[in-house]
Amino acid sequence: MKFIKFTVAPLALLCIILACKKTDTSPTNTTSAVVPDVYKKIYGATSITSDGTYITIKSNDLPDHVSAYYNSSNSLYQSFSGTTFNGRTFSKNPNSIASQTLTFKIPLNPVEATTHASTPLGPIGVSLNGVPFFNQYAAMNAPLTNEANGFDQYYGHPQQSGQYHYHVEPLYLTTVKATKSSLLGFLLDGFPVYGPEENGVTVSNSNLDAYHGHKHATADYPNGIYHYHITNTDPYINGSGFYGTAGTVSQ
Ligand SMILES: [Zn+2]
Ligand SMILES: [Zn+2]
């Protein structure tokens, strides 16, 4: 039975190596790995798992804050009138928030892509409360100028299927749950998204590259990392495409 001897010995060795590397008590297998703490900041996720290569984040896309777009029977419904993003007069769109499962699969160790793909319409990333980020365009790649009139009291709105999203600063996260200089989520390429301020100073587009980011140490990444910043002028979250290679989102 030479065959058995030759296969069992390396397998046993591998088990010993893996056991030594383990840092928690979760079972060692090929589909689960430790989720780094930084992803646990996505408090609105319904689950966060890792396979060691990708982080998989699931969300039901229900904002944890009041909105004029919840059905009036919902406890988080709150009517809204007056001024929204950048001084616009709020004009409610005909859609209502609907629960839906979004599954974001993002690289655990993001790297710069050699070709920077454009961001698609629809979800381009996930914020801390599980609501997706959208890019700087409305349907048909039209500018947000008119659509932004429909941003609610926390600067989000639902599209036709009820999918709630943020194209600009998620005001509830920057003023209630976190701060204007906090980590606010991740784009699909795995790079983190930060708020509109840094060291007490408002970040402007001129501080950022074509993709709307730059690289330096942050509170969450003391060794430095490329990260996006949200600003209050177009393109708001992302510029000319993903800095890294985007993962996937299924909906
Ligand atoms: Zn929109
Ligand atoms: Zn920065």
Task: Give domain status of residue 101, yes or no.
Answer: yes
Distance from residue 100's CA to the centre of ligand 1 (Å)? 16
Q: Look at residue 23 and tell me whether its pLDDT is greater than 70.
A: no
Q: In the predicted model, what is the mean pLDDT of residues 36-52? A: 98
Q: pLDDT, tens digit, for every residue of 158-187?
A: 999 999 999 999 999 999 999 999 999 999
Burial 101-125, CB ≥16 within 10 A → b, else e:
ebbbbbbbebeeeeebeebeeebbb
Q: pLDDT, tens digit, for every residue of 51-108?
A: 999 999 999 999 999 999 999 999 999 999 999 999 999 999 999 999 999 999 999 9
Coil, helix or strand at residue 216: strand
Coil, helix or strand at residue 11: helix
pLDDT at 30: 57
Domain span at residue 145 reads 31-250
Distance from residue 129's CA to the centre of ligand 2 (Å)? 21
User: What DSSP line would sit under 118-165, residue for residue?
Assistant: PPPSS--EEETTSPEE--SB-GGG-BSTTGGGG--TTSEEE-TT--EE
Q: How far is CA 208 from CA 126, 218, 236, 239, in A?
A: 21, 15, 11, 9
pLDDT band at 12 (very low <50, low <70, confident <90, very high): very low
pLDDT at 82: 94
Task: Give domain status of residue 23, yes or no.
Answer: no
Ligand at shortest distance from the CA of 202: 2
pLDDT band at 227 (very low <50, low <70, confident <90, very high): very high
Task: Give domain status of residue 53, yes or no.
Answer: yes
The Cα–Cα gap between 13 and 116 comes to: 42
Task: Give domain status of residue 11, yes or no.
Answer: no
8-state DSSP, 205: G
pLDDT band at 220 (very low <50, low <70, confident <90, very high): very high
Distance from residue 225's CA to the centre of ligand 2 (Å)? 9
pLDDT at 141: 87
The Cα–Cα gap between 6 and 176 comes to: 60
Task: Give domain status of residue 13, yes or no.
Answer: no
Ligand at shortest distance from the CA of 155: 1
Higher per-residue confidence, 9 vs 53:
53
Q: pLDDT, tens digit, for every residue of 118-156?
A: 999 999 999 999 999 999 999 888 889 889 999 999 999
Coil, helix or strand at residue 83: strand
Distance from residue 206's CA to the centre of ligand 2 (Å)? 12
Q: Look at residue 16 and tell me whether its pLDDT is greater than 50.
A: no
**Count: domains in the chain:** 1
Distance from residue 152's CA to the centre of ligand 2 (Å)? 27
Burial label, 4 (beta-carbon count in 10 A; 0-12, 13-18, 19+) = exposed
Coil, helix or strand at residue 87: helix
Task: Give domain status of residue 224, yes or no.
Answer: yes
Contact 23, 34 (CB under 8 A): yes
Task: Give domain status of residue 188, yes or no.
Answer: yes
Task: Give domain status of residue 9, yes or no.
Answer: no
Distance from residue 143's CA to the centre of ligand 2 (Å)? 26
Ligand at shortest distance from the CA of 196: 2
Q: Look at residue 15 and tell me whether its pLDDT is greater than 60.
A: no
